[in-house]
Amino acid sequence: MIAQHYNSIHVENNLLKQIKIKENQLKIAQESNMVYVTEALQNQLLKLQGQLSEPQDSEFQALMSLLDD
């Protein structure tokens, strides 16, 4: 259980780092008027943010489904 918790924290931290990098890349692309690069980076950023908001732990999802019942 502790290992799963550590793993989910590691995954979340990794996603946060990737999001920060994409935000910096996006800022540079916008300042350089790189329209297509900006568009691609925005899509990548949305996907990363979507992954961050998804519960990563299957046990957590199972517990939440019990609350729904």
pLDDT for 11-27, tens place per residue? 889 999 999 999 999 99
The per-residue pLDDT for range 9-67, each reduced to its tens digit, is 888 899 999 999 999 999 999 999 999 999 999 999 999 999 887 765 665 666 666 66
DSSP assignments along 26-69, one per residue: HHHHHHTT-HHHHHHHHHHHHHHHHHHHS---HHHHHHHHHHH-
pLDDT for res 26: 95
